Structure 1
Amino acid sequence: MSTKSPRKIIILNGHPAPSSLSKSLCDAYRTAAEAQGHEVRYHDLSQMQFDMDYGQTGYKNPKPLEPDLARFLDDLEWSEHVVMATPMWWGAVPAKLKGVFDRALLPGRTFDTRNINFLGLPAPMLTGKTARVLLTSDTPAIWLRLIYGNAIKRFISSQVLGFVGIKPTRFTSFAPATDAAPAKVESWLRQVAGLGAKAA
Structure 2
Amino acid sequence: MKTLVIYTHPNHESLNYAFLQKTLQGMKENPYIQEVKVLDLYAEQFNPSLVFNKEKKRRDLHLEPELEKYREQITWADKLVFIYPIWWGRPPAMLLGYIDRLFATNFAYRYTGGTMPEGLLKGKSVVCISTMQGPPLYTLYWLYNSHKVLMRKALFQFVGMKKVKFFEFGSMEKKNGKQAEKLDKIYRYFKTLAS
Coarse TM-score class (shorter-chain normalised)? 0.7 to 0.9
Partners of 1:54 and 1:98 lie apart in 2 by 10
Alignment check: 8 A CA contact 2:59 2:105 kept: no
Question: Cα offset for 1:61?
Answer: 3.9
Mark the runs of 5 or more structure 1 residues left unpaired by the alignment: 1-6
Q: TM-score, normalised by structure 1?
A: 0.85
CA distance in 2 between partners of 1:102 and 1:64 (Å): 13
Residue type at the aligned position of 2:97: G
Q: Note the alpha carbon deviations across 1:21-71, whole angstroms, 9 max, x for none.
A: 2221122111111222312111112212333221133323438243xx433
Cα deviation for residue 124 of structure 1 reads 0.4
Q: CA separation of 1:141/1:60 partners in 2, compared to 1, >3 Å: closer, same or farther?
A: same
Partner residue of 2:89? Answer: 91
**Aligned-pair CA distance for 1:15:** 1.8
- How many pairs are equivalent? 188
Percent identical residues: 22
Matched, 1:10 2:8: no
The SS at the match of 2:162 is strand
The letter for the 2-side match of 1:53 is S
Aligned to 1:142: 137
Return 5+ residue gaps in structure 2 as ranges.
none
Matched with 2:49 is 53
How many Å separate the matches in 2 of 1:187 and 1:105? 34
Corresponding residue of 1:176: 171
Note closer, same or farther for the CA distance 1:179–1:70 as it changes in structure 2 (3 Å cut): farther
How do 1:1-200 and structure 2 match up within 5 A?
7-37=1-31, 38=33, 39-57=35-53, 58-62=57-61, 64-66=64-66, 69-113=67-111, 115-117=112-114, 119=115, 121-181=116-176, 184-199=178-193
Q: Aligned to 2:158, what secondary structure does the other structure show?
A: helix
TM-score normalized with structure 2 length: 0.87
Checking the alignment, whether the CA contact within 8 Å between 1:127 and 1:165 is kept in structure 2 is: yes
**Cα separation, 2, equivalents of 1:166 and 1:180:** 36
Report the Cα offset of residue 196 of structure 1: 0.8
